[in-house]
Amino acid sequence: GGGTGLGGGAALEDAAANQGLTVRAYIVDQFRKLSNAYRAGADKGTGARMHGSGRSDAREYHYKQVCAALEHLSDSPDWAELEAIGTQRHGVGGKTIAKLRELWDTGRLGRVDEFSNNPEQVARELLIKVHGIGQSRVVELVRQGVRTISDLRQRTDLSPQTSIWLKYHDQLEQPIPRDHIGEVRDRIGAVASRIDPRLKAIACGSYRRGKMESRDMDVMLILRGAGPGSTEHLEVMARIVPELHADGLLTDDLTTPGKFPQFGKKTAARVTTPSVVQAENSIAYMGICIVGGVHRRLDLRCYPEHQEAPALLHFTGSGDFNRFMSRAANARGFTLSELGLQPSVIKGPAERVPSGPHLELHSEAHIFEILRLEYKDPSERRDKIDVIDSTTGRPFFQTRESRTALPALTDTSRLQAHHPAAIT
């Protein structure tokens, strides 16, 4: 029994029941609060340099792993089941088990209470949700006394993107029904095929993961027939975005395809710099569209057909799944991105460099296969524990053996032999 006198986890059961949650959902919620708190720069906002300060990003990451482990518990775990994840789940250690014990005994986490009783921390977690406000700006804004969205609106130093986003703040918070996303994909697809009949539109993100509601829309354009060496797809965004405005779908841009960068000093040398090329040729667009009278966030991407598989994998997410699948790829001796999959090696401290060409990737399943990971349907791509080592059938991040790179896969020559279709 704990300090409250309640034994057998009764305090935890009560706390969960009070919120209408299962014990598991309540525990996950507590740790998700910790992850969100560190994302918002908890321990960076306070001037006092406390133990462990300056590790917010890593702790956000850490608590995401913990949440993934907790999600896979039963609805009402007993103490033995909670304690077991300390030994069974990669990334869950002593400090986390101590927090679980605290929850079991008292139904609360002191760290969560500390954060929720700290008005500055509460403000950071609120304001970081605004587009264009990240960990750095939120710490500075809150230090300057900003506490609410209203406070933020008073500022005269907001970026244009943040101002646009704030115009529609209320609408952008509303969940988007699945059907609306399919409609937008079709409208974009129609406009796209008018511009170039080789273009097709695919809705990705949480829509493709089967969710009935989403927070934004992710639509990918594929330029059929475009292969390595083609740059045609880079010009699509600057052509289609004005058409989507004319169509009445888009209302505001958060990025501006084709916009020429403004320099303090415009020199001839700068004109040939890569950043200029990137600005004129864009593959990514972020903006606001209107569907059924409600403004929504829309992300657009355009890729050549030979990058369809890695791009589809990447923009289907989830974000957590991508991070852990990329880590698995690294452990197998590869770098994975929306652009492709290529062998890579660790060069110096914190530096991984390509050691071979991108491989030809025929499908999402092909990528899983090369990495010896179990294929996951989009609806099953949630978190760390969904990345499964197909040689063991167990979560990739679980055992020493499963994390060891496979010689047959990291030896580039043998890999090329098995996958002869490397692309250049």
Judged by beta carbon, residue 21 or residue 276, the one nearer DNA is: 276
The residue at minimum Cβ distance from Mg ion is 205
Whether 265 is catalytic is no
Judged by beta carbon, residue 10 or residue 211, the one nearer DNA is: 211
**338 in Cβ contact with 315 (< 8 Å):** yes
Binding mask 294-323 toward DNA (x if CB under 7 A, else -) reads: ---x-x-------------------x--xx
Stretch that binds DNA, among 187-195, 281-289, 359-367, 388-396 (CB under 7 A): 281-289
* Residue 339 is a binding residue for DNA (CB under 7 A): yes
Residue 351 CB, nearest distance to DNA (Å)?
7
297 binds, among Mg ion, DNA, none (CB under 5 to 8 A by kind): DNA
* Residue 347 is a binding residue for DNA (CB under 7 A): no
371 binds, among Mg ion, DNA, none (CB under 5 to 8 A by kind): none
Binding mask 186-205 toward Mg ion (x if CB under 5 A, else -) reads: -------------------x
Stretch that binds DNA, among 179-187, 191-199, 342-350, 366-374 (CB under 7 A): 342-350
Give the integer Cα–Cα distance in Å for 402 and 98. Answer: 27
DSSP code at position 349: T
> 114-120 long-range CB contacts below 8 Å, 24 or more apart?
115/33, 115/34, 115/37, 115/42, 116/33, 119/147, 120/45, 120/46
Stretch that binds Mg ion, among 164-172, 184-192, 211-219, 348-356 (CB under 5 A): 211-219
Judged by beta carbon, residue 218 or residue 374, the one nearer Mg ion is: 218
Stretch that binds Mg ion, among 46-54, 66-74, 121-129, 405-413 (CB under 5 A): 121-129
115 binds, among Mg ion, DNA, none (CB under 5 to 8 A by kind): none
- Please pick, among 64, 99, 167, 384, the residue that the annotation labels catalytic: 99
The 3-class secondary structure across the chain, one letter per residue, is: CCCCCCCCCHHHHHHHHHCCCCHHHHHHHHHHHHHHHHHCCCCCCCCCCCCCCCCHHHHHHHHHHHHHHHHCCCCCCCHHHHHHHHHHCCCCCHHHHHHHHHHHHHCCCHHHHHHHCCHHHHHHHHHCCCCCCCHHHHHHHHHCCCCCHHHHHHCCCCCHHHHHHHHCHHHHHCCEEHHHHHHHHHHHHHHHHHHCCCEEEEECHHHHCCCCEECCEEEEEEECCCCCCCCHHHHHHHHHHHHHHHCCCEEEECCCCCCCCCCCCCCHHHHCCHHHHHHHCCCEEEEEEEECCEEEEEEEEEEEHHHHHHHHHHHHCCHHHHHHHHHHHHHCCEEEECCEEEEEEECCCCCEEECCCCECCCCHHHHHHHCCECCCCHHHCCCHHHCEECCCCEECCCCHHHHCCCHHHHCHHHHHHHCCCECC
* Residue 383 is a binding residue for Mg ion (CB under 5 A): no
* Residue 216 is a binding residue for Mg ion (CB under 5 A): yes
32 binds, among Mg ion, DNA, none (CB under 5 to 8 A by kind): none
Stretch that binds Mg ion, among 131-139, 154-162, 182-190, 337-345 (CB under 5 A): 131-139
40 binds, among DNA, Mg ion, none (CB under 5 to 8 A by kind): none
* Residue 287 is a binding residue for Mg ion (CB under 5 A): no
Give the residue among 105, 71, 66 at the shortest CA–CA distance from 86: 66
From 100, 133, 172, 234, residue interacting with Mg ion (rule: CB under 5 A): 133
Judged by beta carbon, residue 92 or residue 388, the one nearer DNA is: 92
* Residue 255 is a binding residue for DNA (CB under 7 A): yes
* Residue 41 is a binding residue for Mg ion (CB under 5 A): no
Catalytic residues: 99
Give the footprint of DNA on this chain (CB under 7 A): 51-52, 55, 57-59, 61-62, 90-97, 128, 130-138, 159-161, 205, 216, 218, 237, 255-257, 259, 261, 275, 278-279, 282-284, 286, 297, 299, 319, 322-324, 326-327, 329-330, 335-339, 344, 349-350, 352, 400, 403
